């Protein structure tokens, strides 16, 4: 049930059910899509100029490099640490906070999604909600990985290509599979 004392944006940011078609949220999403579109069409040889396009949308701590295409819902819920790299086709559904640490490498075709929907089909028609995601420092995420709502990936982890991360991964681990499971420790 929606909290009538809060705006839809406040509900969304709090991880509560919200109406995604709220006028203010729709405006925010269209702004993010326009900036992503501009970034995705920018001259690929002008690396610094291309990244400047995203600086006003994302919260980037320091140096970051992202290959096009990049897509997100809002942008303002994404915090990226220093020395970040993402390969082509990163999608971040950021209805709640997505925190990415320092020295993170992301392979191609990765999806990070805080957004989810009620199981009840009637509720699902009008509301959605989100659960924050945290990715630690020194993490390498392989290509075609999906990271689902509420997950925390610890520091110094490697997530194998094609994995679907449905639960937390502790520090210093290699984890792979669908669902993603720890296969060994990193010393």
Three-class secondary structure of residue 46 per DSSP: coil
Distance CA 165, CA 10 (A): 27
For the chain, give the longest Cα–Cα distance.
Answer: 50
Helix (H, G, I), strand (E, B) or coil at 36: helix
Contacts of 48 (CB under 8 A, 6+ apart): none
CA distance 55 to 154: 26
Distance between CA atoms of 123 and 106, rounded to whole angstroms? 34
Residue 85's region, left for phi above 0, alpha for psi from -120 to 50, else beta, is: beta
Nearest to 39 by CA among 75, 2, 1: 75
Are 87 and 67 contacting, i.e. CB atoms less than 8 angstroms apart? yes
Catalytic residues: 117
């Amino acid at each position: 049930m929606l909290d009538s004392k809060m705006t839809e944006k406040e509900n969304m940011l709090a991880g509560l059910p919200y109406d995604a078609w709220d006028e203010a949220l729709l405006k925010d999403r269209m702004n993010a899509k326009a900036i992503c579109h501009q970034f995705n069409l920018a001259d690929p040889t002008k690396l610094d100029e291309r990244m400047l396009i995203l600086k006003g949308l994302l919260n980037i701590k320091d140096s970051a490099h992202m290959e096009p295409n990049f897509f997100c819902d809002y942008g303002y819920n994404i915090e990226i640490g220093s020395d970040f790299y993402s390969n082509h086709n990163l999608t971040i559904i950021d209805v709640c906070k997505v925190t990415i640490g320092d020295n993170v490498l992301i392979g191609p075709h990765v999806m990070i999604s805080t957004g989810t929907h009620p199981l009840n089909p009637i509720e699902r028609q009008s509301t959605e909600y989100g659960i924050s995601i945290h990715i630690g420092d020194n993490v390498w995420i392989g290509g075609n990985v999906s990271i689902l709502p509420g997950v925390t990936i610890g520091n110094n982890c490697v997530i194998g290509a094609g994995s679907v991360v449905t639960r937390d991964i502790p520090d210093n681990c290699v984890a792979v599979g669908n669902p993603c499971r720890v296969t060994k420790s990193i010393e």
